Amino acid sequence: MSNPPSVWQSPAMAARLKGRYAAERRFRALGFAAIALSLAFLAFLLVTMLANGIGGIDWAFLTGSDSTEAANAGIWGAFKGSLLTMGVTLALSFPMGVLAAVYLEEFAPRSRWVDWVEVSINNLAAVPSIIFGLLGLAVFINFMGMPRSAPLVGGMTLALMTMPVIVIAGRNAIKAVPPSIRDAALAVGASPVQAVFHHVLPLALPGILTGTIIGMARALGETAPLLMIGMRAFVSTPPGSITDPSSVLPMQIFLWSDEVDSAFVQNTSAAILVLLAFLITMNGIAIYLRNKFETRW
């Protein structure tokens, strides 16, 4: 009785192993190709915008307002509209988001309707942005009679959209503060409200700010809900207050992209570069804040 040679040495086995290793390499290459393709698209997009738009960025473009002539058109008007809109959004959504997060994380009793609040916050974070536009149109403009095209209404609509983002980020940040902090404050005689506002909230602030900046960056790039409340007017003078008709940066991009005159291609791409520069800066600040101030307990 002689044992057959080990199957590990047989030529069939060698061929099978070779096939399996080849499959392994193919799979790995496929994975790399997938991510390379995605990033190549990103690079393609950025390079296209740079090539089309970098020549259009000069002082006159940055300080001018919309015009029917491509050469005279600038983005200051739309930019100021964006600033005012974001100001309204921040002023409304930040305090409300933080207060709601504090309530839900620290004080809310376990009851049926607190569950409802949580469910609706989670769902609002996933509702398509255009639905918020419909809400703004139906409630703020038609029901309350606020002015169309104004940064006030745009900011309020975007605030409703941003608030759930801030609440979710705020709750996570507050949850990350260890209970020993609260216990220590309560032990020396602070009331629950004092413990939260003097000790927990300052420690959670970097996390809350990170979430807020990310939410604001999303609101800054948002177009669809503002389209619903009529912020697509041709505005040739920068808005003076939050009730004046105004445009915003992404809306300016949308309006210019619709122009037949091909000279507007440069304007559109240049405006996109400005918008992207802002978004990347905001996200960079958020990442910096997170790395710099976040404490690992």
Partner 1 sequence: MSPNILLLVLLALGALGWFAGRAKARALYTGKGSLHSLPSHHGWHLALWILVPALAGWLIWSAVEPGLVHTAIMASPAAASLPAMDMERDAILSEAFQLASDPSAAAFNPAAEGLVEPIRAATMKFSLIGAALLALLAFAGGGFGYTRIKADFPARTRVERAVMAALLAASLMAILTTIGIIASLVFETGLFFSHVSPLDFLTGLHWSPQDGSGPEVSKTYGAVPLFWGTIFIGAIIAMIVAIPLGLMSAIFLTQYASARVRTWMKPMLEILAGIPTVVYGYFAALTVAPMVRDLAEKLGMENPSTESALAAGLVMGIMIIPFVSSMADDSIAAVPSAMRDGSLAMGATKSETIKKVLVPAALPGIVAGVMLAISRAIGETMIVVMAAGAAANLSANPFASMTTVTYQIVQLLTGDQEFDSAKTLSAFALGLVLFVVTLVLNIIALRVVKRFREAYE
The closest alpha carbon to 84, from 170, 155, 174, belongs to 155
In the complex with partner 1, which residue's Cβ is closer, 220 or 289? 220
Task: Work out how close the CB of 63 gets to partner 1 at its nearest, in angstroms, rounded to a whole number.
Answer: 23
91 binds partner 1 (CB under 8 A): no
List the one residue from 50, 70, 76, 103 that touches partner 1 (CB under 8 A): 103
Residues 39-78 that bind partner 1 (CB under 8 A): 39, 41-42, 44-45, 48-49
Q: How many CA atoms lie within 13 A of 225 on its CB side?
A: 30
Residues 227-286 that bind partner 1 (CB under 8 A): 227-228, 230, 232, 250-251, 253-254, 257, 265, 268, 272, 275-276, 279-280, 283
128 binds partner 1 (CB under 8 A): yes
The closest alpha carbon to 247, from 60, 132, 80, belongs to 80
In the complex with partner 1, which residue's Cβ is closer, 1 or 30? 30
Window contacting partner 1 (CB under 8 A); options: 36-44, 67-75, 77-85, 178-186: 36-44
In the complex with partner 1, which residue's Cβ is closer, 2 or 219? 219
In the complex with partner 1, which residue's Cβ is closer, 59 or 150? 150
Q: What one-character DSSP code corresponds to residue 73?
A: -
List the one residue from 130, 181, 203, 285 that touches partner 1 (CB under 8 A): 130
170 binds partner 1 (CB under 8 A): no
| Cβ–Cβ < 8 Å for 223, 159 | no
Task: Work out how close the CB of 2 gets to partner 1 at its nearest, in angstroms, rounded to a whole number.
Answer: 26
Interacting residues of 160 by C-beta distance below 8 A, sequence separation 6+: 93, 124, 132, 135, 136
- Per 3-state DSSP, what percentage of the chain is helix, strand, and coil (rounded to 5)? 75, 0, 25
The closest alpha carbon to 225, from 163, 154, 151, belongs to 154
132 binds partner 1 (CB under 8 A): yes
The closest alpha carbon to 172, from 222, 111, 121, belongs to 121
135 binds partner 1 (CB under 8 A): yes
Interacting residues of 254 by C-beta distance below 8 A, sequence separation 6+: 223, 227, 232
Token pair in block for residue 39: 């990033």
Task: Work out how close the CB of 6 gets to partner 1 at its nearest, in angstroms, rounded to a whole number.
Answer: 15
Q: How many residues bind partner 1 (CB under 8 A)?
A: 85
Task: Work out how close the CB of 215 gets to partner 1 at its nearest, in angstroms, rounded to a whole number.
Answer: 12
Residues 185-204 that bind partner 1 (CB under 8 A): 191, 193, 197
224 binds partner 1 (CB under 8 A): yes
| Cβ–Cβ < 8 Å for 73, 67 | yes
Token pair in block for residue 129: 């942005």
CA 296/CA 290 separation, integer angstroms: 11
99 binds partner 1 (CB under 8 A): yes
Task: Work out how close the CB of 15 gets to partner 1 at its nearest, in angstroms, rounded to a whole number.
Answer: 15
Cite the DSSP H helix spans in 54-75.
59-63
